[in-house]
C-alpha cells in the first residue's frame, strides 16, 4: 500500500512537472514569436525609412548640385540609377570595412563601384562627406573644398548618382554621403559623332 502511494505521488509530481514544462514551453514559444514579429516590424520600418530617406536625399543632393551648376552657367546633371547604385555600394562598403577614403583598404577605387554597377564611363568622379546633419550643410562644405567643388562644377560630367546612408562608423552612428559623377561612354561617342557631322 505504501509503495502504491509513493508511485501515485511520483506520478502526480511527474504529471505536474510535464504540465509545467508544457506551459513554460508555450509561454516561451509565444514570447519567441512575439519577439520575432517585433524585430521584423522594427527592421522593416528601418529599411523602408532608409530607402525613403535615400530617395529623398538623392533628389535633394541633385537639386543642390544643379543649383550650384546653374549659378555658374553650366548644364544641369541628370540622375542616373547605375551611379546611384554605385554610390550606395560605396557607402555600404565604407561602413562594412570601416574606412572613409576614395580607395578601400582592399584596393577598391571609385571606378570599381561604378563599373560593378554597370556604368560604362568616359569620365567619372567621386565626392565623399561624413558627419553632416543635413544635406545643405553637406553641399556647402563640398563647395568650400576646391577638389570637391571641381567635381560639382566639372563641365565633362552629364550625370550623377548619390547615396546618403546612416550606420556605425568607428563605434558611433553617423551619416556618409557619396556623390558619383559621370559621363557615359555612349554619350561621349554620340557627342563626338555629332561634332564630326
Instruction: Render pLDDT for 174-189 as a digit per residue (tens, 0 to 9).
Output: 999 999 999 998 765 5
28-73 pLDDT, tens per residue? 555 555 655 555 444 444 443 444 345 557 889 999 999 999 999 9
Q: In the numeric block, which cell numbers belong to residue 171?
A: 563605434
Q: Measure the N-to-C terminal CA separation of the chain; round to a whole number of Å.
A: 114
H-run or E-run covering 76: none
Query: Could you tell me the pTM of the whole model?
Result: 0.70
Q: In the numeric block, which cell numbers belong to residue 58?
A: 538623392
Amino acid at each position: 500500500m505504501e509503495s502504491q502511494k509513493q508511485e501515485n505521488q511520483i506520478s502526480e509530481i511527474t504529471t505536474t512537472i510535464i504540465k509545467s514544462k508544457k506551459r513554460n514551453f508555450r509561454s516561451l514559444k509565444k514570447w519567441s514569436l512575439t519577439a520575432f514579429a517585433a524585430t521584423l516590424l522594427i527592421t522593416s520600418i528601418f529599411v523602408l525609412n532608409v530607402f525613403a530617406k535615400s530617395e529623398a536625399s538623392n533628389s535633394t543632393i541633385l537639386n543642390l548640385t544643379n543649383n550650384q551648376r546653374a549659378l555658374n552657367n553650366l548644364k544641369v546633371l541628370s540622375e542616373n540609377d547605375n551611379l546611384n547604385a554605385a554610390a550606395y555600394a560605396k557607402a555600404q562598403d565604407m561602413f562594412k570595412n570601416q574606412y572613409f577614403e576614395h580607395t578601400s583598404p582592399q584596393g577598391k577605387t571609385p571606378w570599381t563601384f561604378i563599373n560593378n554597377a554597370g556604368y560604362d564611363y568616359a569620365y567619372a568622379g567621386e565626392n565623399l562627406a561624413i558627419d553632416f546633419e543635413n544635406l545643405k550643410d553637406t553641399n556647402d562644405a563640398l563647395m568650400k573644398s576646391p577638389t570637391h567643388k571641381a567635381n560639382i562644377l566639372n563641365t565633362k560630367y552629364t550625370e550623377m548618382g548619390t547615396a546618403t546612408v546612416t550606420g556605425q562608423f568607428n563605434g558611433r552612428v553617423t551619416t556618409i554621403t557619396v556623390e558619383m559623377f559621370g559621363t557615359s561612354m555612349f554619350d561621349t561617342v554620340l557627342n563626338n559623332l555629332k561634332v564630326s557631322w
